Structure 1
Amino acid sequence: MVKGSGVNGDGKRLFCFGLGYSAASLAHRLRARGYAIAGTCRGEEKAARLRAGGVEAYLFGEGRPLDDPAAALAGTTHLLLSVPPGEAGDPVFAAHAGDIARLAPRLEWMAYLSTTGVYGDRGGDWVTEETPLAPTTERGHRRLEAEEAWRALAARARLPLHIFRLAGIYGPGRNQLRGVIDGTARRIVKPGQVFSRIHVEDIAAVLEASIAHPHPGAAYNVCDDEPAPPQDVVAHAAHLLGREAPPEIEFARAELSPMARSFYAESKRVSNRRIREELGVELRYPTYREGLAALMADEEGR
């Protein structure tokens, strides 16, 4: 929920580099308010589906820039960057930084979706947007490099950049209920381990609030009110489904992929005070309990 959002879509156009899970949620909200929606995806099949739904869709990927960036970006008033950096860096920046800089006179709002991984491991301590950035994983380092690149471009070109550091994302089709139902959920226990998370609809609400109350140059943590041990979330999902929770597995004995193991290399509690006080956001799902409860009908019907 956003207090006094006032987001009017007359003559507005949102372009999303990466029309994925989070971007699509914002696009759905803004389209309902009259915004024209455009963006990129990696495959022709998805592009065709988006076009059939009234979205201007363009193909883009690492090593595959927009065919005609001037035409694709023409008329853009709001820009969302949600493509993650790869080994070679941020592909959007590499291919289209100059094209985006030329949007400055018309651009009203620009956002880069980053991650709370830029804070690194804090041993379970709290972090705010003022906490020094000290990533401890390769993904975190890539995100910080991308943040710095976009900040530098924004300063040179006077772009209205906002940075949003997202916690672990869940929502329809991507949640611990689904893991319990399909048998993939595991309760891995590492003493002292806590994660922050955020429902995808609350991400969209935060972005919408920022559009209504822009503060170029600002960074925002996007997470719910209650960091929690991951095994507790799995246990609660099982409880909601009326099923027995998976057995606990000691972290040292868990068979994990290198990427999965890297998530357990960091433990921190992320503060969301700024989105509440500066943007006036009241989370619809302040903890995983409300979020999972709201997803029950969706998951049981799949």
Structure 2
Amino acid sequence: MNPAVKPPEQVFIVGCGDIGRRVARLWQAEGIPVTGLVRNGGRLTATGIPAYLADLDDPASLSDLPVNQALVYYFAPPPQHGQDDPRMAHFLQALDQQGSRPQRIVYISTSGVYGDRQGEIVSEDTAPNPQVDRARRRYAAEQALREWGRQHAVPVIVLRVGGIYGPDRLPIKRLREQVPMVHEALAPQTNRIHAADLAAICVAAARRGTADAIYNVSDGNDSNMTQYFNTVADFLGLPRPPLIDRDEAQQTLSEGMLSYLGESRRMDTSRLREELGIQLQYPTLQEGLEATCQRDRDELRGTRDEGR
């Protein structure tokens, strides 16, 4: 396990959505002030997290960022089109223009940068091979940020994250609408992590992550996409999705879902456990669903009762 670095004096979260708010609460519990960069501060108002209003698509709005010697988390997604991430470029340009140097930067990327490995295990030493634009954008952002960190002696830690599940992140609408899924024998190997565990990993990465290091993030359990949908359906008492073959999937499923079905890999998380000392709160999907789904199960039960 790496030795812990000096605690931050302040935390700045670029893109303060669900994971950002979770990370903010963990630092606030330790008395560390946190600010979140958002385009609209309404969602942060009720959380007690001060908002820094800016738009990563508008470089002029990124003046005087409160990042000097701050711990910075970059959680903002790239744009939905293209193969680069101009938002990351705008952020780094703003740092250069104001001469600010964060204490360190933690970036959430995606396991998609590895591309399709036909179910094989990937470690952080596996050469990236992003095969769809959403992964190419993330990999471009990784490269730009890591290069900037090297040039300016700012430690950068990259988290390559599998699928995130948790409250308001379950496929309930899809299951209710009986959107089909491919037969389990055709389903790709996938990797998942509970949102609460991801937030704790973000804190651990800031404390113990090695400069310029990459960490694979998942709960380490082998699973596939159809198993995931079936498990969630069973847990919530909903019908499992109807099963179809690949030809039917090509005609039925969305382009986004087809892109996920076209990639299969398993992530080695040894470095996450050994260097960051991670002990997951929800090491299995069952445990994560137990903690996540009581509200959803109660609401679904009430809906069924009303329909009788």
Smaller-chain TM-score bracket: 0.7 to 0.9
- After the TM superposition, which residues 37-52 of structure 1 pair with which residues of structure 2 at under 5 Å, given as runs? 37-42=34-39, 44=40, 47-52=41-46
Using a 3 Å threshold, how does the CA distance of structure 1 residues 300 and 5 change in structure 2: closer, same or farther?
A: farther
Aligned partner of 1:168 among 163, 172, 181: 163
- Alpha carbons 1:58, 1:66 under 8 Å: kept: no
Q: Which amino acid aligns with 2:12?
A: F
Q: Determine if the alignment matches structure 1 residue 83 to structure 2 residue 80.
A: no
What's the counterpart of residue 58 of structure 2?
A: 64
What's the counterpart of residue 236 of structure 1?
A: 231
Between the aligned partners of 1:277 and 1:200, the Cα distance in structure 2 is 21
Q: Determine if the alignment matches structure 1 residue 136 to structure 2 residue 131.
A: yes
Tell me the SS of whatever aligns to 1:69. Answer: coil
Between the aligned partners of 2:180 and 2:288, the Cα distance in structure 1 is 19
What's the counterpart of residue 305 of structure 2?
A: none
Aligned partner of 2:191 among 196, 199, 211: 196
Moved more, 225-234 or 265-274: 225-234
Between the aligned partners of 1:113 and 1:66, the Cα distance in structure 2 is 24
C-alpha root-mean-square deviation of aligned residues, in Å? 2.5
Moved over 4 A (4+): 3-9
Between the aligned partners of 2:12 and 2:177, the Cα distance in structure 1 is 38
What's the counterpart of residue 271 of structure 1?
A: 268
Q: Which amino acid aligns with 2:54?
A: F
Provide, for residues 167-225 of structure 1, a one-character-per-residue CA deviation record: whole Å limited to 9, x for no partner.
01111011145644x43554333625211111111111111112221311110011112
- After the TM superposition, which residues 66-215 of structure 1 pair with which residues of structure 2 at under 5 Å, given as runs? 67=61, 69-70=63-64, 72-73=65-66, 77-86=70-79, 87=82, 89-101=84-96, 102-104=99-101, 107-176=102-171, 179-180=174-175, 182-183=176-177, 186-189=180-183, 191=186, 193-215=188-210
Q: Which amino acid aligns with 1:263?
A: Y
Q: Which runs of 5+ in 2 are unaligned?
A: 300-308
Between the aligned partners of 2:174 and 2:193, the Cα distance in structure 1 is 17
Between the aligned partners of 1:49 and 1:281, the Cα distance in structure 2 is 30
Provide, for residues 14-71 of structure 1, a one-character-per-residue CA deviation record: whole Å limited to 9, x for no partner.
11111112222111211111121112223x3xx034135332213333532363521x
- Alpha carbons 1:118, 1:141 under 8 Å: kept: yes
Tell me the SS of whatever aligns to 1:144. Answer: helix
Aligned partner of 1:288 among 268, 285, 290: 285
Between the aligned partners of 2:66 and 2:155, the Cα distance in structure 1 is 16
What's the counterpart of residue 54 of structure 1?
A: 48
Q: Which runs of 5+ in 1 are unaligned?
A: none
Counting aligned pairs with the same residue, the percent is 31
Between the aligned partners of 1:68 and 1:143, the Cα distance in structure 2 is 21
Deviation at 1:163, TM superposition (A): 0.4
Moved more, 91-100 or 206-215: 91-100
What's the counterpart of residue 217 of structure 1?
A: 212
